Chains A and B, each alone.
Chain A
Amino acid sequence: MMELLEVKNLSKHYKNFDLKDISFTLPKGYIMGYVGANGSGKTTTLNLITGVLKCVEGDVRIDGLSREKGEQAYKEKIGYVGDESYFPDHFKIKHIRNVIKDFYPTFSKDKFNGFIRKWNLPENKLIKDFSRGMKVMLMFASVLARDTKLLVLDEATNGLDPVMRTEILKLLQEYVMDGERSVIFSTHILSDLEQIADYIYFIHRGRTILYDAKDELIENFLLVKGESAKIPPALKKELIGLEEKTYGFEAILPSDKAELLGNAFLFEKPTIDQIVIHYIKSREEQ
């Protein structure tokens, strides 16, 4: 059993929004970035995976187990960190320690206390007086103190300072270190998270746009810049998300079309964010 997370033809219908046919697999020991603009369906997907939303169409399996087969065992495998604290405002750390212990049998008090000390989280403050960063680290402490197989992070690093983000990147890499556990995180801006992602799944308006190993994606595209007037028609057809600015243009081009460039343009390795931005632009124009 090599796959930790299997998602098959996942769909969800709302009045104003459709999530349609999301399918991917995430092998054990790897990290996936689930990317897209705000409102593209990232949170809906993650909520279907964690079981917060009921999965009616499609199939999700974690470590071979579907939610229908055993709700408690399924939830025990998942550690979830969102962009907002899910702890009651009037709680202190000791209350959280006691509550989680009752809900999750694998919760280790010692591990939890270790993280609290390591990150200098205040035992005697109310959660409502925690900074955003402290709340996020508290969520990580409560999740990492359990014996989970899959970390699900929904925009968890939003609004954190670079030092904390770096700390979290290290945490995630440590989490997958033994090759048995995996991470899926959603974000509307990858920046530093891009470095550690093995796979990228990119959705827009509930539809799959790209899904591949990150290294492949970066190699499959070029970021092209130059003078708009010089773009020959054959090239223009292939450019994705052409953005014409006063002093020049920028677009994405599939690498296998590089021969169309000639010597007139500058091209470089794109970041995933740049690929995403230009793809969204091309979809919005259709």
Chain B
Amino acid sequence: MKIIISNQSELPIYAQIREQLKEQILNGQIPEGETLPSIRQLAKEVGVSVITTTRAYSELEAEGFIATMQGKGSVVLPTDNNLLREQYLLRIEEGLSTAIETAKTMGMSKDELTDIFHNLLET
């Protein structure tokens, strides 16, 4: 498990921690069933506030990546395929939205944009 905090990032620190843990859970670097460090342990290791790590964990919990049990700590849940699919879908949509926004800014037509899209798919 690794967490690298950037002060330059536009993402708040709790979101950086959440995203990095999510990434490592999705690609299997942090395996299912693994116990994560406690909220306070993580805050100390990363050098951030307890409120920050608390928020990162509670959002991971809400999204179904981890479960926190009293006295047992936070455990990585099995990533079922739907969850995985949903996360990838979200990323594809984000990537495409950025492209569409850029196209709009420069006044590109729908057809031109779909041409680029098809051309890229072929390569």
Residue B55 is within 8 A (CB to CB) of chain A in the complex? yes
Q: What CA separation (Å) do A169 and B48 show in the bound complex?
A: 10
- The answer, yes or no, to whether B91 is at the interface (CB within 8 Å) is no
Question: Judging by beta carbons under 8 Å apart, are B49 and A196 in contact?
Answer: yes
Minimum CB–CB distance for A178 against chain B, Å: 8
Chain B residues contacting A214 (CB-CB under 8 Å) are 49, 51
Find out whether the CB atom of A170 lies under 8 angstroms from the CB atom of B44: yes
| A198 surroundings in chain B (CB, below 8 A) | 49-51
- Prevailing SS type, chain B contact patch: helix
Give the Cβ gap from B84 to chain A, nearest Cβ, in Å. Answer: 29
Give the distance to chain B from A29, nearest Cβ to Cβ, in Å: 7
Interface 0/1 of A194-205, CB less than 8 Å to B: 011111000000
Q: Mark A218-236, 1 if CB is under 8 A from B, else 0.
A: 1100000000000000000
Across the interface, do B51 and A213 meet the contact criterion of CB distance under 8 Å? Answer: yes
Chain B residues with CB under 8 Å of A268's CB are 10
- From residue B67, how far is it (CB to closest CB) to chain A in Å? 20
- Among B10, B47, B51, contact of A215 (Cβ-Cβ < 8 Å): B51
Residues of B within 8 A of A196 (CB): 43, 47-49
How many A-B contacts are there with CB distance less than 8 Å?
46
Contact with A along B32-53 (1 / 0, CB 8 A): 0000000011011001111110
Task: Please determine whether A195 and B12 come into contact, CB atoms closer than 8 angstroms.
Answer: no
How many angstroms from the CA of A199 to the CA of B47 in the assembled complex? 15
* B31 → A minimal CB distance (Å): 27
In the complex, are the beta carbons of A269 and B40 less than 8 A apart? no
Which residue on A lies nearest to B41, using beta carbons? A177
CB–CB B14/A215 < 8 A: yes
User: In angstroms, how far is the closest chain A Cβ from the Cβ of B102?
Assistant: 14
The B-contacting residues of A in range 161-203, CB under 8 angstroms, are 169-170, 173-174, 176-177, 179, 195-199
The 6 A-B pairs with the shortest beta carbon distances in the complex, nearest first, are A173-B44, A198-B49, A198-B51, A213-B51, A177-B40, A195-B47
16 residue pairs A–B, Cβ–Cβ below 8 Å: A29-B50, A30-B50, A31-B49, A169-B47, A173-B47, A176-B40, A177-B40, A177-B44, A179-B40, A195-B49, A196-B47, A196-B48, A199-B51, A215-B13, A215-B52, A219-B12
B-to-A contact residues, CB < 8 Å = 10, 12-14, 40-41, 43-44, 47-52, 55
- List A residues at the B interface (Cβ < 8 Å): 29-31, 169-170, 173-174, 176-177, 179, 195-199, 213-215, 218-219, 268-269
